Structure 1
Amino acid sequence: MQGIEEMEEFGMEKLIEVAADLVNDRLPEAREAARSIATSVYEAIIKNVEEVEEKMEVWQSFCHSKLTPINALSILKIVKP
């Protein structure tokens, strides 16, 4: 996966949207790519957050603000702190 700088340049919002599109794909490779992308975005989003509860709150807030409710749930199911 890309480094954090490249991810930020491309846009975390765009990356999480791509992951949400791929997570329900029929191809296992696409679903695995979605997990990988979402995990990388998660790591970048929470990198400066100390508390476990706060990490989940920040992650949920990011997902809900960038995705439709159903897509946010799909992403939140595959990436857990």
Structure 2
Amino acid sequence: FKAEMDKKEAKSNAQNMLKNKNLDAVCLNILDESNAFGSDTNKIELLLKDKNFDFYGNKLNISLEILNRFEKEFTNE
């Protein structure tokens, strides 16, 4: 997970983290007035090496959607 407050640099920073740490994925969370810590909802961009996915809504639902996306992307089914 990568929390960022600078909207201009957030995606670039997350992509650098993905590459420099040799990760399979990074969940980018850009914090602002409409997406703050402690709220019931969240907006996440999931960055993979060659694609991105956006999630918005209840935090529990987002976590389940991310897990489902991982299953689709990283299993051979």
Structure 2 length normalisation: TM-score? 0.36
Higher RCO structure, 1 or 2 (CA under 8 Å, sep 6+): 1
Rg larger for = 2
Q: Which has the higher helix share?
A: 1
